[in-house]
């Protein structure tokens, strides 16, 4: 069996998604997600010009060899563009291998370690009351873990809160240039303890609570936050600070027992290594699309398991349903799986394009038994929603200094 051709599709059913389809000479095909929010077309060019020509004619079953060929063989390693391209090829090859074997991908990884995949949902609100009303609704729907984000009084928009958007699946406000947002650490600290104190009063103790800081704090500020949130018993605090210096997390660790999670923007196991082996984190949040696919995620999960670190894959709306399907197979298999981020199954336009057999009930996802990844891509439906350039926002402090978004 040989790879016959590789196609790259970009569609925008509210969000831009880059989808790779590998077709073999026997007619079997596989799908991968190569979406890199705000930099989509860079990955398309990398795939079409630099990856696809090297793979035509190769054996699609040699997943590991192709991964190493694209990673080590290119000399230029790592980085989000490279790794998203490798990830999409890797997912598509696992999809093909499953279809050839007549087995879902999780069976090829080693089978199920649990009956379903625990999810955490998002409650975002314009005020603490609004956030907690939404959290109560999610709890009623059966979710047992909920991330809380509330608009910060005095700031026009806040990360994680929809603001002027009607839902998560709306393109970033249809923005041909990056919008700019304002951040104030002082105003954030004035809100955060109240949010979680009121959450425990209203929601009780039989629900897991989570929170995402989105890298806005310095290490010592993050340590202060971890300490403030200790009484409210979070499942984890996500991205408390940037970690280009990986030992930043050790500062937080020294001062607080609030569990820590990081890694959604990391591209390789090397980006995670020090934090895992030093036990500076409790959850590693790499995503299949941005950290090199199923092959690389399996390696990260196994490495993390040696140090009692659990997996909690990123699940933002800018990852396509193909990535979500890949996560389902990894999550149901990984012995050290922790929890999966979940923002809903997408809008009506997206559901016309991506069809899958994942079922969500009582805060848990159940993976189907279709061979491969269990997801289909409708090219004709995708063509109705062409690429639309859009950016993530850029963050500035109140004095105008560029800050972490
Ligand atoms: Mg996040």
CATH number where 73 lies: 3.30.390.10
**Catalytic annotation, pick one of 71, 106, 159, 385:** 159
The residues that bridge with 150 in the sheet, in sequence order, are: 125
Q: How far is the CA of 75 from the centre of ligand 1 (A)?
A: 30
- Domain finish residue from 72, 103, 134: 103
Residue 218 and residue 215: Cα distance in Å, rounded?
A: 8
Q: Say if CB 41 and CB 16 are below 8 A apart.
A: no
Q: Is residue 269 part of a domain?
A: yes
Q: What are phi and psi of 80, to 5 degrees?
A: -65, -35
Q: How far is the CA of 352 from the centre of ligand 1 (A)?
A: 27
Q: How far is the CA of 314 from the centre of ligand 1 (A)?
A: 7
Residues 220 and 311 in one domain: yes
Report residue 99 as tokens: 């279809």
| Nearest alpha carbon to residue 107 among 333, 293, 294 | 333
Q: How far is the CA of 341 from the centre of ligand 1 (A)?
A: 9
Q: Is residue 403 part of a domain?
A: no
| Nearest alpha carbon to residue 261 among 237, 278, 233 | 237
Q: How far is the CA of 214 from the centre of ligand 1 (A)?
A: 6
Q: Say if CB 310 and CB 338 are below 8 A apart.
A: yes
Q: What is the CATH number of the domain that holds 194?
A: 3.20.20.120
The residues that bridge with 310 in the sheet, in sequence order, are: 283
pLDDT tens for the chain, 405 residues: list them: 999 999 999 999 999 999 999 999 999 999 999 999 999 999 999 999 999 999 999 999 999 999 999 999 999 999 999 999 999 999 999 999 999 999 999 999 999 999 999 999 999 999 999 999 999 999 999 999 999 999 999 998 887 787 767 788 776 656 789 999 999 999 999 999 999 999 999 999 999 999 999 999 999 999 999 999 999 999 999 999 988 888 999 999 999 999 999 999 999 999 999 999 999 999 999 999 999 999 999 999 999 999 999 999 999 999 999 999 999 999 999 999 999 999 998 999 999 999 998 999 999 999 999 999 999 999 999 999 999 999 999 999 999 999 999
Residues 142 and 200 in one domain: yes
Q: How far is the CA of 239 from the centre of ligand 1 (A)?
A: 7
Q: How far is the CA of 335 from the centre of ligand 1 (A)?
A: 23
Q: Is residue 80 part of a domain?
A: yes
Number of domains in the chain: 2
**Catalytic annotation, pick one of 122, 208, 211, 214:** 214
Residue 46: active-site member: no
Q: Which domain holds residue 320?
A: 108-370
- Sequence-distant (6+) residues with CB within 8 A of 89 are 6, 20, 22, 32, 47, 51, 55, 66, 67, 70, 293
Kindly report the pTM of this predicted structure: 0.97
- Sequence-distant (6+) residues with CB within 8 A of 23 are 3, 4, 5, 6, 7, 29
Residues 86 and 127 in one domain: no
Q: Is residue 278 part of a domain?
A: yes
Report residue 164 as tokens: 């002027």
- Furthest CA-CA distance within the chain: 61
Report residue 381 as tokens: 């439906």
User: What is the sign of the dihedral through the CA atoms of 266, 298, 350 and 101?
Assistant: positive
Residue 208: active-site member: no
């Amino acid at each position: 069996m040989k790879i016959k051709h590789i196609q790259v599709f970009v569609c925008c059913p509210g969000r831009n998604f880059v989808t790779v389809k590998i077709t073999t000479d026997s007619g079997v095909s596989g799908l991968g997600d190569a979406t890199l929010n705000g930099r989509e077309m860079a990955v398309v060019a990398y795939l079409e010009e630099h990856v696809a020509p090297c793979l035509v004619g190769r054996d699609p079953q040699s997943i590991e060899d192709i991964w190493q060929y694209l990673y080590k063989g290119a000399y230029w390693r790592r980085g989000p563009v490279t790794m998203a391209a490798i990830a999409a090829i890797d997912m598509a090859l696992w999809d093909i291998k499953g279809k050839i074997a007549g087995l879902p991908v999780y069976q090829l990884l080693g089978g199920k370690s649990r009956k379903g995949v625990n999810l955490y949902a998002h409650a975002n609100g314009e005020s603490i009351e609004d956030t907690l009303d939404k959290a109560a609704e999610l709890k009623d729907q059966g979710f047992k873990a909920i991330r809380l984000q509330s608009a910060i009084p005095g700031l026009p928009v806040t990360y994680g809160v929809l603001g002027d958007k009607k839902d998560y699946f709306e393109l970033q406000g249809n923005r041909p240039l990056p919008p700019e947002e304002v951040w104030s650490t002082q105003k954030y600290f004035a809100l955060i303890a109240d949010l979680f104190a009121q959450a425990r009063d209203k929601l009780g103790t039989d629900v897991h609570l989570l929170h995402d800081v989105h890298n806005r704090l310095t290490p010592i500020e993050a340590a202060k936050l971890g300490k403030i949130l200790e009484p409210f018993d979070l499942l984890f605090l996500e991205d408390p600070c940037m970690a280009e210096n990986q030992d930043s997390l050790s500062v937080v660790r020294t001062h607080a027992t609030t569990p820590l999670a990081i890694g959604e923007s990391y591209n390789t196991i090397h980006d995670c290594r020090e934090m895992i082996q030093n036990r500076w984190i409790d959850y590693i949040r790499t995503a299949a699309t941005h950290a090199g696919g199923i092959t690389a995620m399996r390696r990260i999960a196994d490495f993390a398991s040696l140090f009692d670190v659990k997996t909690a894959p990123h699940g933002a709306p800018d990852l396509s349903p193909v990535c979500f399907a890949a996560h389902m197979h990894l999550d149901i298999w990984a012995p050290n799986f922790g929890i999966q981020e979940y923002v809903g199954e997408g809008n009506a336009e997206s559901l016309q394009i991506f069809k899958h057999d994942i079922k969500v009930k009582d805060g848990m996802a159940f993976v189907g038994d279709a061979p491969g990844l269990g997801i289909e891509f409708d090219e004709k439906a995708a063509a109705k929603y062409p690429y639309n350039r859009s950016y993530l926002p850029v963050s500035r402090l109140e004095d105008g200094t560029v800050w972490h978004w």
